[in-house]
Structure 1
Amino acid sequence: MELLRFLLTVFLQYSLIPIVSAFPSPLSSRDDEVFAPKVMIISMWSPEAKIWHDRLPDSKLGNLSSKTIHAPGLSMLFPCATCTEDGSICHLTIGEGEINSAASLMALMLSPKFDFRNTYFLIAGIAGVNPKYGTLGSVAIARYSVQVALQYEIDTRSLPPNWPTGYISYGRNQPHEYPFITYGTEVFELNAQLQDTAYKLASKAALADENEPKEYRALYRHMGESYKSASQPPSVIKCDTATSDVYYSGSRLSESFENTTKVWTNGTGLYCMSAQEDNAVLEVLVRPLQTVNLNPTDLQGSNFDRPPPEYTDLDHLTAAKQNGFSIAIVNIFNAGIEIVKGIIEEWDDRFKNGIRAENYIGDIFGSLGGEPDFGFGSLTRGECIAPDSKGSEMADREMNRRRILTQKSLRKI
């Protein structure tokens, strides 16, 4: 399976993950129609889904409403997946937030009506954008996805005045340190070669823009050279995404999570997008697989994560009219369709057998094999976890590592 991650918020983010799956045969009976799509498009809510259903026919690649497939466990709001007539492109809306997205996607992955062993997933949604690296309507292709809010939190009003943030990594006593206690979903690294491929394909797109977001972008011109990207037209960029169920906004929180991204990726990650579902989606894709190649994530920006000088954090969130939503939704399709077309048109020559990664691929534990280039090293000693594993050896290793690193290992505090 290949996963392509695409999020939109005034910013486009694509996540590409090539995956070799360990799924059993999806055939449940000879009469069942089994779908083995080349591309599976994932949306989080209705506006993101509608653009694909409305505009895919214009691409001559088919109509996403030609086939409707129900699978138990999908969202009550979005109970069916849909596919084109030939089954080469399918679509599902998984719901918003980490819980909804994980539950729906796991139901899809375990459905006997699908065979995803040679599928690229394109997760296409809106996201918040860091004005240091992008702007409203931009498209971001990510290598890292970081679950930045998986930390202790203390109200900053209860902290010493010199503390930069109320977020503290698990097992630590102060901000901006690597967590001693980890859950396994903190960081995912994706296929850098697939990131490059998605970037080149998405860069073919003519990105939409409008006068209203141009006016809001102009307010960032007074913030100096480091914020130059904010006032520029939408573009395709390479940078990384932060996952948080909390829809955060403001300079202090954004800067805190920017630092978290850098620390948790050992100085490699570059936070430019914020979303609510990425790490949940990636964990689901890792769970059923023997081996997986996690490839880049793509997001589209619909709103800035911090205000320009003329606005307070509160006004920026609740009163300011950034007007990035419309172009972000449009650019989900404009950039996404270039990736979809590239995969379909070059299937036999380039995509059918996957795009081999040259970097580490996977989570913080090393579940898929290899040695993470972030964190405290692999729990699996470089081996992929066996799909038929029945013991608790990995849990024992993880607890032993906690004991070595911190006295808080059995208390969490």
Structure 2
Amino acid sequence: MWNTSRWRSAALSALFLLGLGTSAEAAEPVKVKVFVGAMFEIGKNTGDRAGEFQNWYERYWQSAEPIAVKGALNPVYCNADGVCGAVLGMGKVSSSASMQAILLNPQLDLSQAYFIISGVAGTPPSRGTIAEVNWATWLVDYDLGHRWAPEEGKPGEPTFMPRKGYESVRLFQLNPALVSWAMKLTGDTPLKDSDSARAYRQRYPQDAARRAPFVGTGTHMTGDTFFHGPGMSEQAQYIAKLYGADDYVITEMEAAAITLVIKRTLGSDRVMSLRGAVNFDQGNPKETTLEHLDPKPGETAGGFAETVENVAVVGARMTDHIVSHWDQWQAGVPALPAQ
């Protein structure tokens, strides 16, 4: 004769185990193929003036549910193809804190992910132009040293000296093969421009500043100080060359810090830094640095909307290639095809 209590116990055990299985399946982490980190959004993620995230969001995550991550500034969005992204926050501390929280969150499996650090930036007029898009070859921390006022040193000599002990956290060479792939896949991307940006470029005598937008590479300088003026620009170039990096071409506020966090957790072979230039790091010869910092109405560079769209279009070409050829990219950056 069947024991009723034993039957009830067996049934409850089965339901309990079934519940555990369902819970485990629901908790399966998202396997991320490409993670895009932007620094700010102006308003909503869609439907208004676009900041650094909106063009990405509208391309990949319109129907995605937000994934709340404790410790991150904003939620993460993921699509069915394993492309995820979030607004990390501006500056070294906020952005890297968000990235660390996301990396450690059990809802996301980033163990094989490629990272695109995406945003706007400044550029020296001797190296770049408004609305250009640039892939980093090196990331250099603008800080982590000693500085003094020019009048307190010898005339004409640098006013920056690196501080010992920061060698492993102030300089990052990004994977050359990955940079080469990025240029191979995106170097010919048609970029948008604007009449206001075209007119603004003509204020500068440098040939580079007057160029139409293009896709290029070089060193990205990470500093919480939003530096301006030819003197600070020359110092940034001095630091880049002092550390053995390529020419300084982009000034931004987050990439070196974010890369350090990723490197300590997963390594940095799959990290990319992608920036679009929305301003020059100094005024033209007819304006002072303070005038450049506080322009009159209608005197700004223009081209912001076009630049953030250019960044997303260029970045999407890289993203879509990785995802659509995941069998080749999953284990690491593949060899470049023979020329």
Fold in common (TM above 0.5): yes
TM-score of the superposed pair, with normalisation by structure 1: 0.69
CA contact (8 A) 1:191 1:357 kept: no
Residues 325-375 of structure 1 show CA distances to partners (whole Å, capped at 9, x for unaligned) of: 222211121211111122122222x322211689xxxxxxxxxxxxxxxxx
Residue number in structure 2 paired with 1:34: 29
CA contact (8 A) 1:82 1:91 kept: yes
The reply to whether residue 182 of structure 1 matches residue 162 of structure 2 is: no
Deviation at 1:43, TM superposition (A): 0.6
Residue number in structure 1 paired with 2:15: none
Deviation at 1:183, TM superposition (A): 5.4
- In structure 2, the residue corresponding to 1:69 is in which secondary structure? coil
Matches within 5 A, 1:231-246: 231-246=210-225
User: What CA distance in whole angstroms lies between the structure 1 residues aligned with 2:32 and 2:221?
Assistant: 28
TM-score of the superposed pair, with normalisation by structure 2: 0.83
Counterpart among 53, 61, 64 of residue 63 in structure 1: 61
The reply to whether residue 316 of structure 1 matches residue 301 of structure 2 is: no
The reply to whether residue 301 of structure 1 matches residue 277 of structure 2 is: yes
Residue number in structure 1 paired with 2:83: 89
Going from structure 1 to structure 2, the CA distance change for 1:41 and 1:302 (only over 3 Å counts) comes to same
Query: Where does structure 2 lack aligned partners over 5 or more consecutive residues?
Result: 1-22, 42-50
Larger radius of gyration: 2
CA contact (8 A) 1:81 1:90 kept: yes
Residues 209-229 of structure 1 show CA distances to partners (whole Å, capped at 9, x for unaligned) of: 0011111111223xxxxx311
Counterpart among 131, 137, 144 of residue 143 in structure 1: 137
Counterpart among 243, 258, 263 of residue 264 in structure 1: 243
Counterpart among 204, 213, 234 of residue 197 in structure 2: 213
User: What CA distance in whole angstroms lies between the structure 1 residues aligned with 2:78 and 2:270?
Assistant: 24
Letter in 1 for 2:256: N
Residue number in structure 2 paired with 1:169: 162
CA RMSD of aligned residues (A): 2.0
Aligned length in residues: 302
Deviation at 1:115, TM superposition (A): 0.6
Letter in 2 for 1:192: P
CA contact (8 A) 1:195 1:297 kept: no
CA contact (8 A) 1:195 1:295 kept: no
CA contact (8 A) 1:64 1:89 kept: no
- In structure 2, the residue corresponding to 1:228 is in which secondary structure? coil
Residues 356-396 of structure 1 show CA distances to partners (whole Å, capped at 9, x for unaligned) of: 689xxxxxxxxxxxxxxxxxxxxxxxxxxxxxxxxxxxxxx
Query: Where does structure 1 lack aligned partners over 5 or more consecutive residues?
Result: 1-27, 57-61, 171-179, 222-226, 359-413
- In structure 1, the residue corresponding to 2:55 is in which secondary structure? helix
Residue number in structure 2 paired with 1:74: 72
- In structure 1, the residue corresponding to 2:37 is in which secondary structure? strand
Deviation at 1:184, TM superposition (A): 2.6
Deviation at 1:63, TM superposition (A): 3.2
- In structure 1, the residue corresponding to 2:77 is in which secondary structure? strand
Counterpart among 107, 120, 129 of residue 113 in structure 1: 107
Going from structure 1 to structure 2, the CA distance change for 1:215 and 1:181 (only over 3 Å counts) comes to same
CA contact (8 A) 2:88 2:95 kept: yes
CA contact (8 A) 2:113 2:270 kept: no
CA contact (8 A) 1:189 1:294 kept: no
Residue number in structure 1 paired with 2:305: 326
Letter in 2 for 1:300: G
CA contact (8 A) 2:116 2:271 kept: no
Residues 138-172 of structure 1 show CA distances to partners (whole Å, capped at 9, x for unaligned) of: 11112110002221121234444x134432222xx
Residue number in structure 1 paired with 2:52: 48
Letter in 2 for 1:149: D
